A and B are shown apart, each in its own frame.
Chain A
Amino acid sequence: MAPEDADQGISQRIFYIHVPIALTAYFCFGLGAWKALRLLWLGEERYDLESYVAIHQGTIFGALTLLTGSIWAKASWSVWWTWSSRQLVLFLVLFLFYCAYFMLRFSIEEGPRRARSSAVYALFGVVLIPISFLAIRLASDFVHPVVFNLDGPQMSGTMFVTFCVSWAAVTSLAYVLYRIELLGKRIDVGLRELREALQ
């Protein structure tokens, strides 16, 4: 059982869910961009669906990051939203970006052009993450708690273990959801092809 934070009390415990969700969202966006790169590089169609599903999961986890971050901000600073929390602002920018990804994807006819345009936009997203991070750093003052810095994690042993366990749990959850959605989408495609073949 992780000890209670001396400074923030019980509200600090949302850290164990907020940060793993945020890291998983980054991981999903990165995976989506990697699959997009593979699609452009190798031209294999299956990467399109894999990239889309990874970004879909990333966007869901990104929305959850905004939600849990907002709850944490309410508990710690008694406001639902603060522009001085850089990670939250970054997630808002990324959330807008990836919502535009879906708009783009759903307004192009299905086919290789849609796959390639989506892939290019997904690659832009993964480059936008560090650039936006730098931009928000340049733009704002700092009050978000710094838990990880260059000297390593600033928490006690049991807190770190708890954090790692919940990180592993959230990553596994994201992976399972990714596989399930991918399977569902593939069955959809297979079914549609079968129906077209029968008509």
Chain B
Amino acid sequence: MSYAADVAALARKDLKVELRTRDTLPAMLLFVLATLVVFHFALPTNAADDAAYGLLWVAIVFTALVGLTRAWVPEHEHGVLDGLVLAPCDRSAIWLGKTLATLAFVAAAQVVALPAFALFFAPLGAPAIAGVLLADVGICAVGSLLAAMAAATRSREVLLPLLLLPLAIPLVVGGVGSAVSSEPSRYLLFLGLYDAVFAVLSWASFEYVVTE
């Protein structure tokens, strides 16, 4: 099989597992909606829209974390990862398949979260939505590698946020900048740069994380 076919098969497997078990996506949806409601009460009534955009990014990062914490659980519970590592395909395809599947979950959660945010708080322009999409790519690319790393440790659920949050700070800067700045293009460019650098790094280093 070619590399693209391997990746597609792996991503399809994750989507199928999710369709049957419904473990991740409903949790993410409920989490992001609950977070937005909490934010309504956390913000003072006369707070500016800019503060709400900041909180939206907190919600986006934490919702992605909810999805990523679950990302490798099926593989570890049933020993699937050993089988995948032994399969005659490039190991980076495993990472790419997982990244695409996680990206699909995160995007699906945002299809609900962004309109809800616009309804509850402040309108979202095209640059803000482009910023969200670019940041999703970065967070899923880095997150699925770190989640694989954390899944092999003793304290996996606790460890993943600690590993990911310092790496997500530049994404939050880019995302908030694209929503509040009068010239969002430099922030979008920055997010694109982040995605490119960290996607290549994660793609190249995944093999070392999963092999014994």
Contact = CB atoms under 8 A, between A and B. Distances in A.
- State yes or no: do A and B come from one complex: yes
Contacts of A75: none
Interface in A90-119: 93-94, 96-97, 99-100, 103-104, 107-108, 112-113, 116-117, 119
B167 A97 contact: yes
A108 B193 CA distance: 32
Interface in B100-121: none
B149 A136 contact: no
Given A104-B163, A124-B201, A119 B208 contact: yes
Interface of B: 142, 145-146, 149-150, 152-155, 159, 162-163, 165-167, 169-170, 173-174, 177, 186-187, 190, 193-194, 197-198, 201, 205, 208-209, 211-212
Interface string A73-101: 00000000000000000000110110110
Given A97-B167, A108-B152, A127 B173 contact: no
A72 B174 CA distance: 29
B209 A112 contact: no
A40 interface: yes
Nearest to A101: B163
A83 B193 CA distance: 24
Contact of B162 (A103, A120, A127, A131): A103
A116 B153 contact: no
The 9 closest A-B pairs by CB, nearest first: A135-B170, A97-B166, A107-B153, A135-B173, A116-B208, A100-B162, A120-B205, A96-B166, A139-B173
A123 interface: yes
